[in-house]
Amino acid sequence: AQTVTQSQPEMSVQEAETVTLSCTYDTSESDYYLFWYKQPPSRQMILVIRQEAYKQQNATENRFSVNFQKAAKSFSLKISDSQLGDAAMYFCAYRRGGATNKLIFGTGTLLAVQP
Amino acid sequence: DSGVTQTPKHLITATGQRVTLRCSPRSGDLSVYWYQQSLDQGLQFLIQYYNGEERAKGNILERFSAQQFPDLHSELNLSSLELGDSALYFCASSVASGLAEYQETQYFGPGTRLLVL
């Protein structure tokens, strides 16, 4: 069975600084997708970034980028120029390719941004 | 705003009762997923519907059931409620048509917070 592990329950970063959140996953599949979702205090789940396993290039979305290491099964999220609004719980998620495509989530990392 | 709507936002009920949670997917999305977020279990997949038919089941209790209607909205029915059913229930949707089915992203609604007393 596929699993997703986030080993950092909490992280803290100074405003305008850079922080990296870690995620590892375990799968025997070759076709899969990886996601980072943000859950602010409102509890809404907001997609931050996605990565297709078949793509070697790391995904980027403005201040958010990933470091996808397929052989190591690692998928970390880098937030540059951190802003107060980035404070939230961040979940790493895995989805196997194909029609049955449930998301498997990690336990989350709570990010605090210090002014 | 993801375009996925869920009602009600909050629900307080008693043990043994039955409730229905409603989800309207984004316009054009054919797939609906239900997830449960609780303190002890984290975020867990419950069930998926695609164009009215059940597609996949996860850790959904027998006391829970769901369906997707012809207009593509979905309902999650929770019966014989127990204290441990208190959680945030999310609905997500994705486009899932043709080849895009293999590449779509799931967009989440705001959730329904259920409290069983």
pLDDT digit string, tens, across residues B72-97 = 999 999 999 999 999 999 999 987 55
pLDDT score for B14 = 97
**pLDDT for residue B101 is more than 70:** no
Per-residue three-class SS string for A40-105:
CCCCCCEEEEEEECCCCCCCEECCEEEEEECCCCEEEEEECCCCHHHCEEEEEEEEECCCCCCCEE
pLDDT score for A70 = 95
- A98 vs A115, residue with greater confidence: A115
CA angle A94, A100, A105 (to 5 degrees): 25
**pLDDT for residue B98 is more than 70:** no
Within 9-48 of A, beta carbons closer than 8 Å to B belong to: 31, 33, 35, 37, 42-47
Q: How many CA within 13 A on the CB side of residue A64?
A: 18
Please write the tens of the pLDDT for every residue from B62-72. 999 999 999 99
Please write the tens of the pLDDT for every residue from B20-63. 999 999 988 888 999 999 988 899 999 999 899 999 999 899 99
pLDDT score for B40 = 83
pLDDT score for B6 = 97
With CA atoms as reference, the chain A residue closest to B101 would be A99
Q: Give contacts of A108 with chain B, Cβ < 8 Å.
A: 42
Smallest CA-to-CA distance from A44 within B9, B41, B66, B95 is with B9
**pLDDT for residue B99 is more than 70:** no
Highest mean pLDDT among A46-55, A69-78, A89-98, B51-60: A69-78
DSSP type of residue B25: P
Nearest to B106 among A98, A99, A103 (CB): A103
**pLDDT for residue B100 is more than 90:** no
Mean residue pLDDT of chain A comes to 94
**Mutate which of A23, A49, A94, A102 to test chain B, going by most B C-beta atoms within 10 A?**
A102
Q: State the pairing for strand pair B10-13/B112-116.
A: parallel
Give the 3-state secondary structure of residue B1. Answer: coil
Smallest CA-to-CA distance from B42 within A104, A14, A17 is with A104
